[in-house]
Every structure is written in structure tokens, then in C-alpha cells.
Amino acid sequence: MRHSCFFAAISIALLGVSGCKMEDTGPTAFNPATNVDLTFSTFDLENTDKAPDNLKHTRFWDFYQGIQPAGSGDNAITRATVNEIRTHIDRFIQATPSSDGKSYEKVRNPLDLINQVIAFNEADNFKEGRRYITQRIIEGQAGTYNTRTNGALIRFTDQNAVLDEASLNDKLWIYPTLDWTYQPAGPEGTDLDDKVYRTIQYVSRSVVPEKAKAQPELISLLAGSRFDANSFKTNGYNKPEFATADYQSRNYGGIELRQEFIRDKIDTLFIKSPDKAVLDMSLHGVTLTDTSPDCLRVELDYAMSTLRVFHSNGQPAKLKDPTSQNPDATIKNLANCGNQENNEAAISWVAEGASSRQ
């Protein structure tokens, strides 16, 4: 897949130990992360008179609207498929769809909330962390803000949910990891690249079995972004070059959204829900022994205004390399949906895309 080093780095909670040769911050580097405890009237995010563009900055804003069939791609089958995709996304981000179903008017999830808190400088320690990373950029020295390393926790409380005696994970969100890592450019021929990497991790609280059904669907998320150090700022939203967010639910498996904001400008949604049928592929003349493929990839190409759906079943992402004497050597399995080329899409249609795409 594209930019595999970036996405592999995000797949673990701490980027500094990934295989992408991130440089150590050094024994004298300072890590300013401390506990953050904030109370909100509500975790719900929507557009308001004070913040009219709230929803525009939520993670799924462009993708959710952009997959809408347009022109020759607009027919009953493609519209039904889009509705199924959106309904599945709603389970993870608690979106309230707009009246026409093409967008949403409210979301409630840990990733979008903490992104807003960071952008609005609502937490002094987050502000201090961004200032520290900016200073390291000016000095050309690697630096890290990392809550996990310092044993610090981020705790968000929903006051209205507390008053309503809502379930534990509906009123309390805890983030074990918030990490900003600045990696300065290294000597020619190295992978050191003058970028800022950010990791956010949320994990729901454990409850006794009899209270499990009352909890929200989302049980964890791990999100990462890469920013150009030259444009990194301490106020507002930083525009990422690449971003990924991996969500896990109680009953519907997981989804992962990968976004590329430079060059290709493509969003890719991986749907990982082996126990729940999400798309009935038989609608599209695709015959499968199982209506829940073990690999389902929905790719929106903004430049080409094209939506493609890829699927595979029983095809691992990697196979043993028959040409290598190393028993652990592997090669990509081109039959896996994550490795298939554009012309192998099971379904494709002209999509509306998003004019506001960054």
C-alpha cells in the first residue's frame, strides 16, 4: 500500500519505536506532558454560532459526503450501498445524519472531541506541548511530548451525561496516549524527514458484564497524523499530510480510515467486521460464499471523483516467499483486497467528492 512506512508507524501506539527509523529525542530532551482533566457540558459536537465550522474538521466529514453517487453513477444500487457504508460509520463516530442522509449534523466520539480541544487551546498542557514542539523545530532538535512516557492521563467528563446517570463510557473518556514527536531532517540517504507525528489513543473503561450492553459501541481508537514541520503551528488545526484512524467496536468489528492530503488525495476505508454483514455484495452481481468478506476496502479518489470497492475472502495480506531461504520471509498477496489494483475493483461509480478537500 502507499506510504507503508507512515501507516506502519501509526499502527503502534508510540511512533518512536517503529521501524521507520525515528530518531531518539536524546537524554536531555524535555517531555512536558502532564495530567489533563476537563469537564464539558456535553461531548456532542455540532456547528454553532460561536463555532460554525466545527463539523468541517471532523475526521469523516469529506469522506461521508464525498462517496455520494453522482451523474452516471447515481442509481438505486449505488445509493443503497452508500447508505450501508454511512450507517456502519455512524456506529463508530455516533453521527446524527442530516435530513437528506448525505452528511451529518452532530457527532460524539473521542477523536473528534480531542482534536477540537487541541485546536481551540482548551487545555493548557496541550498548548504547552505544541509550543515545545514548535521550539524544537526552530532549534532543529528532535523532541517528544508523550503522556504515556510520563505516566500522565487525559480524562474528559461529560457533565450532562453524569447528571443523566449515563453509562460509564458515555460520561467518561480516558486517553492513555497523546504524543507529538518532531523528527528533524537527517543526512542525505536517511529516512529522517523534518516532520511532526501525532498519535492519539482512546480506550474505554472495563465494566462488569451486566453493564456491558449499556456502553457505547466504540471500545478503542488509535489515530495518527503526519505534519510538515515548516507549517506546524500552535493555534488552530494543523493540516496533516497523511492521517489514519483505527476504530474498534463491541459488536461490529472495526474500521480504519486512511487519508492522503498531498499528491494522490485519496481516502481509504477498511471495513473489518467478519461477524456482521455490512455490504450485501450480491447486490452487485458478486458471488461470494460469505456476504461478509474478510477484507473490504472502500476507496474515494477525490481528484478523479471515483469511488471503488474492493473485496477478498480467505486471502491473507502476505504470503510466504517461495523464493527465499528465510522461513519468515513474506511477499504481498496481490489477491488480498488491500493490494488489489484499481481495475480489480468489484464496484465503482462516479462520486460527488468534496470541493473543500484540503
The verdict on pTM exceeding 0.85 is: yes
* 241: its cell numbers: 499530510
Tens digits of per-residue pLDDT, 68-108?
A: 999 989 998 899 889 989 999 999 999 999 999 999 999 99
What local confidence, expressed as pLDDT, does residue 110 receive?
98
Q: What percent of the chain has pLDDT over 70?
A: 84
Q: Contact, 241 vs 265, CB < 8 A?
A: no
What local confidence, expressed as pLDDT, does residue 244 receive?
98
* Three-class secondary structure of residue 249 per DSSP: strand
Q: Contact, 81 vs 280, CB < 8 A?
A: no
- Taking every pair of C-alpha atoms in the chain, what is the biggest distance, in angstroms? 64
Tell me the average pLDDT across 306-335.
92
Tell me the average pLDDT across 168-193.
89
Q: State the average pLDDT for the chain.
A: 88
Of 53-57, 63-67, 258-262, 274-278, give the lowest mean pLDDT range: 274-278
Residue 16 reports pLDDT greater than 80? no
- Confidence band for 330, pLDDT divided at 50, 70 and 90: very high
Tell me the average pLDDT across 25-46.
85
Tens digits of per-residue pLDDT, 203-228?
A: 999 999 999 999 999 999 999 999 99
Tell me the average pLDDT across 278-288.
54
- Confidence band for 311, pLDDT divided at 50, 70 and 90: confident
* Three-class secondary structure of residue 342 per DSSP: helix
* 73: its cell numbers: 453513477
**Higher per-residue pLDDT: 279 or 172:** 172
Residues 6+ apart with CB under 8 A from 220: 201, 202, 203, 204, 247, 248
Tell me the sheet residues that pair with 350.
306
Q: How deeply is 308 buried, as exposed, middle or buried, from its count of CB atoms within 10 A (0-12, 13-18, 19+)?
A: buried
Cα–Cα–Cα angle for 303, 304, 308, rounded to 5 degrees: 120
Query: Could you say which DSSP state residue 215 is in?
Result: S
| Dihedral sign of CA atoms 208, 108, 157, 257 in order | positive
